[in-house]
Structure 1
Amino acid sequence: MIGKIVKGRSFKGCISYVLSDKEAKILATKGVLETDTKSIINSFYMQSMLNPKLSKCVGHIPLAFSPDDKERMTEHFMERLAKEYMKAMGIENTQYLIVRHNNTSHPHCHIVFNRVDNDGNTISDKNDRYRNEKVCKQLKDKYNLTYGRGKENVNVEKLKGAEQTRYEIYHAIKAILPKAQNWKLFEEALKQQGISIEYKHKGQTDEVQGISFKKGEHSFKGSDVDRKFSYGKLNILLDESNPIQKQQQEQQQATTSIETGNSVSENILSGVGNALSTVSGLFDIQPSYQDENEAEYLRQQALKKKKKPENRRGIRR
């Protein structure tokens, strides 16, 4: 179950789209005249005039469900989920329209509501994206709905505006992180892809509290791109003084040493094999190795050499 929050100015455009599908099915309405599409639009428009200063009075939330839950998504169950979602999001005491679509492989419905409630007050959108994720998770857990396969399967090309940019930043960070050994390299790699970093400091100090990523005209907090990309979690990976970062660098260096040891041992064995092959042609003998595990021996020596501490005078260890 995924909800996408959209706010707009035109009830005509939104409702015309929602009801344009030939197989569209109205599941529920409240406070609107259902005679025809025009009557529904006029109903929303008349109430919005109670608060003419609110420019984006149209609330539109598509709710999409996993194809794995398709058999469970009866009209009654989908309506129930949509109403519980609205209540948890604080969308109450206002007009709404819930319409089911069947034009995709995944079952979904559209909630259209008036952000001007029945008393002329504005339905708050404070932290609505965060609340949307929280409510969707609660409903998925409550009804044992299927969780999506994550951001990796999202078709970025089909997204638009800020949402598309957010996923572009996500994929860029995910690709760069394994290669970046420190903050400087991380910043430079992102810069090459048109992404800049902004740090949030604690008061007037140099202590960093948060991070944001900006591409074009859109900027996102690290945790809004992905929970793994908060400043604290990124710093664990990129801070050179951090034990985990040091361990990763040592492992990478050890791997390089091992590969070098393997290469050396392979060359030695290859040379020995060639020499013995020539000799065996004269004396008709089979090659014999004094140390059958020479490659493993060289590998261990390379590791010991790497781990052996340097002896420096005047430095206590």
Structure 2
Amino acid sequence: MIGGITKGSCFSGCVEYVLALKEENKDARLLYSEGLLTDTPKDIIDGFECQRHLNSRVQHWCGHISLSYSPEDSARLPDDAMVKLALEYMEKMGIKNTQFIIARHLDKEHPHCHIVYNRVDNDGRCVSDSYEYYRSNAICKELKKKYGLTFGENKDKVKVDRLKGRSKTRQEIYLAVQVAKRTAKDWTTFQRELAQKGISVKKKFHRNSTEVEDLSYTKDGRKFKASQIDRDGRCSYAIICKALERNKNRQAQPAASAPKQMQSRPKHEPGAIGKAIEAGADIAENLGNAIGGLFQVGPAYDPEEEAFIREMKRRQKRKRGRSL
């Protein structure tokens, strides 16, 4: 289950797309509606337009959400089950007391539905979009666990041609970053490789300092924070720096002396983080080899990086615990 969220200011275009009114190869059916007359598509659009005038301060009054599921769950998702999941998702997202429709598309192998809702609610208030991307991901994960739905493939295997808009651009940036950080040994090379794919990366500094706080990526006029590209930090400044340093060290080592260096022991024992990262990398790599015939990891999978991410999450969790 994956939720894609967009906002706009054109109910007619969105409703026509969701109901597949102008595309001959698309098949869609309206499953559910609330607060609207559904005799004709024009009635639906007019109803949305009438209510959005209750609040002239809302600039993007048309909300659109697509909920997509794994093909493996097709048999478990008749229309009524899909409506039930959509309504529960909307309730948890705080999309309530407003007009909306739910329509199912039948043009793909994976089951999916579309929700069009009025961001001006029945009382003239704006439906909040605060942290909607993060909330949506968390809610989808919660519902998948609750109902035993199939967890999709990792992000390295997502088919870009099935995505649209910001979701497609976000995935393109994610994949490009994973490729660039496997080979680049400095920031200049890293940025050059991304630029060849139409992606620019910019550092954000802490106020009045040279310390980098975050990264942002831009492609096709769409800008994303590193955390929006990947919540686990695979596109973050810390991870990129670690990858570049690792690549630089590997390229500096003579190939002939590699076996000798592998046998030598460091003069000093690594710290706690180093031990955890090394152990996690070994476990991940051995586990991947043991079950390789059953599960295939993505091309950008790096056991050492995954172990580093897990260790950083563990430290952040402990830090939050101490502050309570």
Q: Distance in 2 between matches of 1:50 and 1:308?
A: 71
User: 1:49 and 1:232, CA in 2 relative to 1: closer, same or farther beyond 3 A?
Assistant: same
- Change in Cα spacing, 1:74 to 1:205, as seen in structure 2 (3 Å) is same
CA pair 144-306 structure 1, distance change in 2 beyond 3 A: closer
| One-letter amino acid of the structure 2 residue matched with residue 97 of structure 1 | I
TM-score, structure 2 normalization:
0.72
- SS of 2:81's partner is helix
C-alpha contact 2:182 2:243 (8 A) present in aligned 1:
no
Q: Distance in 2 between matches of 1:16 and 1:199?
A: 40
Q: How many residues align?
A: 260
Distance in structure 1 (CA, Å) of the matches to 2:217 and 2:75: 40
- Does 2:19 align with 1:19? yes
Q: 1:18 to 1:184 in 2, by over 3 A?
A: closer
Alpha-carbon distance, 1:31 to partner: 0.8
Summarize the alignment of residues 210-249 of structure 1 with structure 2, pairs less than 5 Å apart: 210-226=214-230, 227=232, 228-238=234-244, 240=245, 245=246, 249=249
1:7 paired to 2:7? yes
C-alpha separation between the residues in 1 aligned to 2:167 and 2:59? 22
Summarize deviations over 1:164-203 as a string: whole Å, max 9, x none.
Answer: 3322222221111111223343233333444332112122
CA offsets per residue over residues 256-282 of structure 1, 9 Å max, x none?
A: 1168xxxxxxxxxxxxxxxxxxxxxxx
Is 2:35–2:98's contact at 8 Å kept on the other side of the alignment?
Answer: yes
Q: 2:4·2:167 contact (CA, 8 Å) conserved in 1?
A: no
Instruction: Tell me the secondary structure at the aligned position of residue 199 of structure 1.
Output: strand
Unpaired stretches in structure 2, ≥5 consecutive residues: 267-324
Bigger Rg over Cα: 1
Pairwise CA RMSD of aligned residues? Answer: 2.8
Query: Helix, strand or coil: the match of 1:50?
Result: coil
Deviation at 1:308, TM superposition (A): 11
Secondary structure of 1:146's counterpart equals: coil
2:115 corresponds to 1:116: no
Q: How far does residue 3 in structure 1 lie from its aligned partner after superposition?
A: 1.1
Q: For 1:6, give the aligned amino acid.
A: T
Does 2:173 match 1:174?
no
State which drifts further: 222-231 or 181-190. 181-190
Aligned CA distance change for structure 1 residues 149 and 204 (closer, same or farther; 3 Å): same
Give identity over the alignment, percent: 42
How does 1:150-229 map onto structure 2 within 5 Å?
150-226=154-230, 227=232, 228-229=234-235
Q: Which amino acid in structure 2 is aligned with residue 90 of structure 1?
A: G
Q: TM-score, normalising length from structure 1? A: 0.73
SS at match of 2:218: strand
Q: CA separation in 1, counterparts of 2:222 and 2:104?
A: 32
One-letter amino acid of the counterpart of residue 256, structure 2: S
Q: Deviations over 1:73-101 (max 9, x none)?
A: 02221111000110111101101111122
Matches within 5 A, 1:1-317: 1-20=1-20, 24-226=28-230, 227=232, 228-238=234-244, 240=245, 245=246, 249=249, 253=253, 256-257=255-256, 303=260
Provide the rounded CA distance (Å) in 2 between the counterparts of 1:7 and 1:306: 57
Q: Distance in 2 between matches of 1:215 and 1:23?
A: 32
Unaligned runs of 5+ in 1: 260-299, 310-317
User: CA distance change for structure 1 residues 235 and 33 in 2, over 3 Å: closer, same or farther?
Assistant: same
Could you say what secondary structure the match of 1:41 adopts?
Answer: helix
Residues 167 and 235 of structure 1, relative CA distance in 2, 3 Å threshold = same
SS across alignment from 2:103: strand
Over 3 Å counting, the alpha-carbon distance change for 1:151 and 1:89 in structure 2 is same
Secondary structure of residue in 2 paired with 1:124: coil
Q: Distance in 2 between matches of 1:192 and 1:34?
A: 48
2:200 & 2:18 partners in 1: Cα distance? 38
What amino acid is aligned across from residue 13 of structure 2 in structure 1? G
Q: Name the structure 1 match of 2:309.
A: none
